[in-house]
Chain A
Amino acid sequence: MKNTRSIEEINEKIKTGKAVVFTAEEIINVVEEKGIKNAAASVDVVTTGTFGPMCSSGVFLNVGHPTPRIKLNEIYLNSVPAYAGIAAVDLYLGATALPPSDPANRNYPGDFIYGGGHVIEELVAGKEIRMEATAYGTDCYPLKKIDTSFRLSEINEATLYNPRNAYQNYNVAVNLGSKTIYTYMGVLKMNMGNANYSSAGQLSPLFNDPLLKTIGIGTRIFLGGGIGYVAWHGTQHNPGAKRVENDTPSYPGATLALVGDLKQMEPRWLRGLSFLGYGATMQVGMGVPIPVLNEEIMHYCAVRDEDLKAPVVDYYRGYPYKEGSELALVSYAKLKSGSINIRGREVPTASLSSYAGAREIATTLKEWIQGGRFTLTAPSAPLPSADSGIKMNALPQRDPDNREV
């Protein structure tokens, strides 16, 4: 489709304070009133947002060298282990990392009260983080042990790098078993006592650009209260997922890898979480601006909860043991109404992703753009989309002794 405006033109309007911006929620009524054609002619940008638990998140840190220098081998930040298998004082702290002293599910269901996500939240909040590390010592890096503390402002770099965020759709979790289960989708009561979902639906970034026509590598975004970028497609990126008529996938589809400078982010949008019986993780706030380049993009941005479908999956047997298929497809409008009907029964619903948070992110991003402090970027390369042929792989399970070497 021929473009009616370019990103350069949109940026010119942003710089002069003339850009017309709506959130993905507001645009629904705009399109209803004006029609696609008129809306596309008058609106420059639609902003999206999401604020949900995203386990595949973490931060690269360079903590600087002590005197004498050290090559970190084993390292703990507030007792949470970080990965040091890279250069001397570089490390990666993952959101789900747990202190070795955490009883985990030995005391079922475990509390997982403090993990990597909590350390990241405290780091962003400017708190002092205790760092305990050991090393084997080398001629160039002689120090073998250190116990100190630092603040975010005192270290060289802190780069949030999240390998998989912003899932384009996700499962609705129920429990068909006869006991309560504790999952990354929250506490699921027996016999379908509740159904938990996790997407902002009509406000969610990848639901508003289902075929990744505007979002690509290098897209500037709202990340953790600051500015970030799309680094790559996320892990488990599945753009080949089955789609409904409006081109949105009705199953977990595309994902994004995100990157940004932690030093300009806010603890409010990077929150440590404790999932009973499952583990620790982090709630990440992110939002993507979508340039309304033509009527087709406008059409995608006008998508509403009624037209977005998610699969209901049993987490007692179905998900963990890969048994059976989904129980139903339900719309986000039904999910957000507070109950869904599955197999003739009304099941109360709850979200793990904060819609109020998603709305606030989309609104903040809109204000940044209207205020001229945030301009859009054209992707430097596209992300693999529906035509990529990507298929999800399962891990091979075979006799390792007979492997080819």
Chain B
Amino acid sequence: MIKQKIVLRYPPHVVEQPTIYHLIKDFDLMVNILRADINPKKEGRLMMELSGSEKNYQRALEWLQELGLQIMGLEQQIIWREDRCTHCGACTVICPTEALAFNRPEMTVSFDEYKCVVCELCLKACPARAMETLVENANAK
């Protein structure tokens, strides 16, 4: 068994294909969608947790890559610019998963990218704008 959080990036020409259907039906995977959006350029982004047999999981990834999708780890989506962080802590009450946490007695902020579910609330809650996302998405103004 394998359980993995991944992000799929869809180029515009495959964004309308029912990939989730095939992941379940053809590869017998359990899919837990965390977030999905499509930007104005018609590029899609899907964040999900996949679980199933190791063999099926690997086959599914190969199939997705053949379709032209880019596969990334969820933990690569949000970047904590520590050089810009002033360690105030304002983000820590906004982050829903405690990926951004306040350490006591050091009184410093830390970011656990494996706990991050890419809700992106921190991007704008941080006054110093120390949180960044690599890529444009549907919520970008």
Chain A residues engaging chain B, CB cutoff 8 angstroms? 51-53, 107, 109, 111, 113, 186-187, 189, 193-194, 196, 271, 273-276, 281, 283, 336-338, 348-357, 359
Contacts and interface: CB of A to CB of B under 8 A. Distances in A.
A338 B86 contact: no
A350 B92 contact: yes
Nearest to A280: B127
Given A275-B127, A356-B107, A359-B107, A351 B86 contact: no
Interface string B86-127: 111111111000000010101110000000000000001101
Contact of B93 (A109, A273, A349): A349
Nearest to B106: A356
B36 interface: no
A351 B90 contact: yes
Contacts of A337: 104
A355 B102 CA distance: 11
Q: Which 6 A-B pairs have the closest CB atoms?
A: A194-B93, A273-B127, A355-B107, A350-B93, A356-B87, A354-B88
B124 to A, nearest CB: 5
Given A51-B86, A186-B127, 9 more contacts: A187-B94, A275-B127, A283-B127, A336-B104, A350-B90, A350-B94, A351-B89, A354-B86, A354-B89
A274 B93 contact: no
B109 to A, nearest CB: 8
A196 B141 contact: no
Interface of B: 86-94, 102, 104, 106-108, 124-125, 127-129, 141
B124 A276 contact: yes
A39 to B, nearest CB: 22
Contacts of A283: 86, 88, 127-128
A328 B141 CA distance: 39
B141 A111 contact: yes
A334 B106 CA distance: 16
A357 B87 contact: yes
Most buried by A among B89, B91, B92, B129: B89
A175 B125 CA distance: 16
Nearest to B105: A336
21 contacts: A51-B86, A52-B88, A186-B125, A187-B94, A196-B93, A274-B124, A276-B125, A348-B93, A349-B93, A350-B102, A351-B89, A351-B90, A352-B90, A352-B127, A353-B88, A354-B86, A354-B88, A355-B107, A356-B106, A357-B88, A359-B107
A53 B127 contact: yes
A115 B141 CA distance: 18
B136 to A, nearest CB: 15
Given A194-B93, A196-B93, A348-B93, A336 B128 contact: no
B93 A352 contact: no
Contacts of B124: 109, 111, 274, 276
A348 B88 CA distance: 14
Contacts of B127: 53, 186, 273-275, 281, 283, 352
Contacts of A349: 93
Contacts of B102: 338, 350
B125 A352 contact: no
